[in-house]
A = this chain, B = another copy of it.
Amino acid sequence: MRLTTKGRYAVTAMLDLALHAERGPISLADISKRQDISLSYLEQLFSRLRQSGLVSSVRGPGGGYRLARANADICVAEIIDAVNESVDATSCGGNSDCSAGEQCLTHYLWTDLSRQIHGFLNGISLADMVERADVQEVARRQDGRAASDALDQVVEQKVAIIGGLQ
């Protein structure tokens, strides 16, 4: 079992997608800025998310990614699974051949733990997360920062143009 930045990034990016769904396709560059995740790394993750049928893509200017299903139909467990991070806590993958071909002493413990974790992550959908007050608050903060950053960039560009004219 493993849960690293990879799986966390994937869930965060998918939630970002869900939060901004009404804007149409969302570019990875936007997600990269808002969530502070490397763009190239996001590309790799979305390659897998697309292969797993969780998102669909639109190419060209104005393009980006969209959720392939409804918010409520995508759960956290699926997302983590899509980027190849297993939530299974057993070493044998449930085959009971963990110790010299036979079931190990602690087999049932890891099976129970896996069930526990899977149950928890399976029970939480993107829709559930979008509705949460704390998520909405963080999203508002991030959107605000993104907007002011965009403004800064416009100002910077104009200054550069003026500089060029002189």
Contacts and interface: CB of A to CB of B under 8 A. Distances in A.
Contact of A35 (B12, B99, B112, B117): B99
Contacts of A161: none
Nearest to A134: B108
Copy count, this protein chain: 2
B8 A106 contact: yes
B1 A142 contact: no
Contacts of A78: none
Interface residues of A, number: 42
A124 interface: yes
Interface string A90-101: 010000000110
A23 interface: no
A36 interface: yes
